[in-house]
Amino acid sequence: MSKGRVAVVTGANKGIGLEIARQLAREGVRVYLGARDEARGREAAEKLRGEGLDARPLRLDVTDDASVAAAAAFVDEDAGRLDILVNNAGIAIDDGPPSRVSMDALRCTYETNVFGLVRVTQALLPLLRRSDAGRIVNLSSGLGSLALNSDPSWPFASVKFLAYNSSKSAVNAITVQLAWELRETKLKVNAADPGYVATDMNRHQGERSVEQGAATPVRLALLPADGPTGGYFNDEGPLPW
């Protein structure tokens, strides 16, 4: 299915995003590495090209309307369509417990994790509609699950970052609604929980590697025609909302 396909991965210059781009490219996908910092994006793309992969830098700041519009126009001109969108870009900057998290942290988190995801998806959806089998994968987190967060026996039950957790709950809600809107098309929209991955976001304290964290997003990006849509998954299968 992946041969000749075209993908955009946001936040792809490092961490899980870079590994998702690498694994997709290994499947024969042409991958545009979205990065806010143009130099870092070029460096990441060059690294993958050094591995013999079709990786191309894409200047893309998910919080900026003009940047997103320019990125969409570039992919349109360069590829003419889009088959896979992986909304990976995200931040975690909570500066206190829920009762004291600052409005600045809350707004900034939502601007990237929620509004940025919607902004990019809306801009690239016309290109995805040209695909024979478009796939949208939204990077979520187990911390976005209301069911898991309300279960005191869950191993991460004590991790209550209001801005980050609720932004990922919003990502899950967006996934469900967009999948419903597109239910009569060939596009599939799913949310992926990569697990607690060691990245810059958590000062590399995660218990999983980026290779492990990328596995579920890549699987959802390459779903066959009979694959699910409107779901929320980790490596073990569906997660409770």
CA angle 23, 15, 91 (to 5 degrees): 130
Tell me if 223 is assigned to some domain: yes
Please give the chain's pLDDT, 241 residues, in tens.
345 899 999 999 999 999 999 999 999 999 999 999 999 999 999 999 999 999 999 999 999 999 999 999 999 999 999 999 999 999 999 999 999 999 999 999 999 999 999 999 999 999 999 999 999 999 999 999 999 999 999 999 999 999 999 999 999 999 999 999 999 999 999 999 998 875 666 666 667 889 999 999 999 999 999 999 999 999 999 999 9
Tell me if 101 is assigned to some domain: yes
Half-sphere exposure in the Cβ direction for 81 (13 Å, CA) = 13
Tell me if 155 is assigned to some domain: yes
Tell me if 1 is assigned to some domain: no
**Strand bridging mode 135-139 / 84-87:** parallel
Task: With H, G, I as helix, E, B as strand and everything else as coil, classify residue 88.
Answer: coil
Q: How many domains does the chain have?
A: 1
Tell me if 197 is assigned to some domain: yes
Active site residue 164: yes
Where residue 212 sits, what CATH number does that domain have?
3.40.50.720
Tell me if 225 is assigned to some domain: yes
CA 135/CA 234 separation, integer angstroms: 17
pTM of the model: 0.95
Beta-strand runs (E) in the chain: 6-9, 30-35, 55-59, 84-87, 135-139, 188-192, 232-234, 237-238
CA angle 17, 177, 212 (to 5 degrees): 25
Rg (CA), the chain: 17
Domain that holds residue 180: 6-238
- Catalytic-role residue among 32, 110, 164, 232: 164
